[in-house]
Amino acid sequence: MPVGTGGTVKGVPQDILEELGVQILLGNTYHLYLRPGVEQVRNLGGLHRFMSWPRAILTDSGGFQVFSLSGLRKVTEEGVTFRSHLDGSSHFFTPESAMEAQIGLGADIIMAFDECTEYPADPARARASMEMTLRWAERSKKYFEEHKHEVPWSSRLSSVIGRLQTQVPRSARDDNIVAETATPTLFGIVQGGMDPQLRKESAERTLEIGFPGYAIGGLSVGEPRHLTREIVEATLEHLPADKPRYLMGVGTPEEIVEYANLGVDMMDCVLPTRAARHGLLFTSEGKISIKQARYAADDNPLDQNCACRVCTRYSRAYLRHLYASNELLAQVLNSIHNLSFYLDTMRRVRDAISLGERARFLSDLRSARKP
């Protein structure tokens, strides 16, 4: 999932996201809550309509964003008090208000409000944090079940798809993937720090509460990468394979392949777009820092093996010139390429999975036919 923090994947128009094959975007509740505000988005028909994005949207709960504010926040059993990074104003998120915000934004998949345990955390702290996330998960689910119909289009449900389709250009209508459900779907989040036993317990007790999908939170918080992988593995085995398993906030192209291979179904990361804005480009032959002088006279495409609209049209020399000149177009083209590279990577993963499944199916068929 590309990250569209404030209702936009930075620098990339929505029609290009569609062309790239983006099926689902992530929106950040914390950012949208502060600007333009949940009521504003709700009154304008929800985030889909507001940003003219007919395909699926997942919003995070705001928990991780608030966690990132460190000095600006205070956590109690009731919720989190934090100060806006924009104007220093004080705000209060609870499991209930985080659900209210996400339902108001009109996302298709919304996330339970959790506490992202910091790294490192001692055993007592990791347990206490996990226990609170479980209590918050129950409160999230309770509020969600009671209010899930309060979506921005609840009063005019039958027309929402129609309106979206009117708004988007004809070319984009055919393959739009709007969830035709009237209410969003709530995912639970597993915490438990870096302790496999706590992760197991968190997974089992989150499963007891019961959600249609499960996320692994609290990773990519500064721990070494081998530990991330270890905890992902230790958590995944306790999550049902027939429900979506979502690993939050990863990763590099290599990592997303690795995690998909372990059984992760969904991931989100700002890396492709953020790196792009800093001139760091992912290619089939590794990372390229386009600012380097060695590319100034390089007439080759950025990535010979990439069919995106950047690689088929522009040279490394041109991209290097745009970046070195601090041109807006550098950020636009770099973001388009990196997203294309990530989405291609995930397409290859899906192809490999379906190829494997076909091979298994054929092999099963052959076994069954044996007398």
**Active site positions, annotated:** 60, 268
338 interacts with a second copy by CB under 8 A: no
**What burial letters (b/e) apply to 229-265, b meaning 16+ CB within 10 Å?**
bebbebbbebbeeeebbbbbbbbbbebbbbbbeeebe
CA neighbor of 331 nearest in space, from 276, 292, 282: 276
Q: Which of 91, 100, 230, 314 binds a second copy (CB under 8 A)?
A: 314
In whole angstroms, how close is the CB of 17 to a second copy at the nearest point?
11
How far apart, in whole angstroms, are the C-alpha atoms of residue 221 and residue 61?
17
How far apart, in whole angstroms, are the C-alpha atoms of residue 75 and residue 226?
29
Helices (H) and strands (E) in the chain, counts: 15, 12
How far apart, in whole angstroms, are the C-alpha atoms of residue 264 and residue 290?
31
11 interacts with a second copy by CB under 8 A: yes
120 interacts with a second copy by CB under 8 A: no
Q: Which of 90, 325, 354, 363 binds a second copy (CB under 8 A)?
A: 325
Contacts with a second copy by CB under 8 A: the residue count is 41
Prior bond to 120 cis, omega within 30? yes
The span of 65-73, 101-109, 233-241, 309-317 binding a second copy (CB under 8 A) equals: 309-317
322 interacts with a second copy by CB under 8 A: yes
Contact yes or no for 240/207 (Cβ under 8 A): yes
Q: Which of 157, 182, 297, 352 binds a second copy (CB under 8 A)?
A: 297
Q: Binding mask 40-79 vs a second copy (x if CB under 8 A, - otherwise)?
A: x--xxx----xxx---------------------------
327 interacts with a second copy by CB under 8 A: yes
274 interacts with a second copy by CB under 8 A: no
Residues 171-190, interacting with a second copy (CB under 8 A): none
312 interacts with a second copy by CB under 8 A: yes
Q: Which of 2, 3, 14, 30 binds a second copy (CB under 8 A)?
A: 14
Assigned token pair, 66: 């608030």
30 interacts with a second copy by CB under 8 A: no
Q: Which of 132, 178, 179, 317 binds a second copy (CB under 8 A)?
A: 317
Assigned token pair, 371: 């007398």
Contact yes or no for 202/234 (Cβ under 8 A): no
How far apart, in whole angstroms, are the C-alpha atoms of residue 113 and residue 78?
12
Prior bond to 36 cis, omega within 30? yes
Helix, strand, coil in percent for the chain, rounding step 5: 50, 15, 40
332 interacts with a second copy by CB under 8 A: yes
Contact yes or no for 35/7 (Cβ under 8 A): no
The span of 58-66, 88-96, 212-220, 318-326 binding a second copy (CB under 8 A) equals: 318-326
Q: Which of 328, 352, 359, 362 binds a second copy (CB under 8 A)?
A: 328
Which residues form the interface with a second copy (CB under 8 A)?
Answer: 6-8, 10-15, 35-36, 40, 43-45, 50-52, 167-169, 296-297, 299, 309, 312-315, 317-318, 321-322, 324-325, 327-329, 331-333
